[in-house]
Amino acid sequence: MRYPLETKQLTKRFKDGDDTIEVLNAVDFQLEQGSFTAVVGPSGSGKSTFLSIVGALLSADEGQLIVDGKDISTMKDQQLSDVRLKSMGFIFQSANLIPYLTVKDQLQLVATLNKQTKKQSLEKIKAMLDDVGLSHRINHYPHQLSGGEKQRVAIARAFINDPAVILADEPTANLDEERSKEIVALIKQEVKANNKAAIMVTHDESLLTYCDHVYEMDHGHLKQR
């Protein structure tokens, strides 16, 4: 069976003075097509390190990372950049929107980086904003949006290049309970509608009901609940 994302014996160590800390210990993991998976664990357990490595933002010391059927473990920086652009969508704690770009242009920038023309991408941008309930904000700037609306833009931006994998790092950390549930429900909706695969790192146990699978990071090991 081919998975959108798979790790084999993924290991990561950090130096702490004279000591070496094994943050990830030979992690084997498969992310299923069409699934929404959560990774939980206490602060410092390694869950964000895991997400950074599977997102090709940080390299592992040992093991394999297979994305969309390709082993990217030994790829060079430019190749990894292409993988992130074409095969992955990222949603972070902060929406990280560019202050001087409108909602439409935030998404257009990502589409342009992926060599889509404005004509090709405009219809998709409009459809994506309609999906996340922001059609009426298409020409607004970030300072005109609420926190929840900014995260909706971030979700649309993550999906705009039709990536195989969506990675969300504490996407509701800056939102209240009601908005948090709205945002996670929206991520799930888009994952299912587009048959994508997503991993969400979260500390909020109340959001786990939206997920198909829950894994816990514990002393470098990733275990399914």
pLDDT the model gives residue 19: 85
C-alpha to C-alpha distance for 155 and 183, rounded to whole angstroms: 9
Residues 6+ apart with CB under 8 A from 146: none
Cα distances from 187 to residues 13, 97, 143, in angstroms, run 31, 18, 23
pTM, to two decimals: 0.92
Contact 51, 84 (CB under 8 A): no
Would you list the domain boundaries of the chain? 5-224
The strand pairing partners of 31, in sequence order, are 5
Q: 5-224 — its CATH code? A: 3.40.50.300
pLDDT the model gives residue 2: 80
pLDDT the model gives residue 211: 96
Q: What is the dihedral of CA 170, 171, 175, 180, to 10 degrees?
A: -100
Could you report the average pLDDT of every consecutive run of 10 residues in the chain (225 residues)?
Answer: 91 87 93 96 89 94 93 92 93 92 95 84 91 94 95 94 94 90 94 94 94 93 92
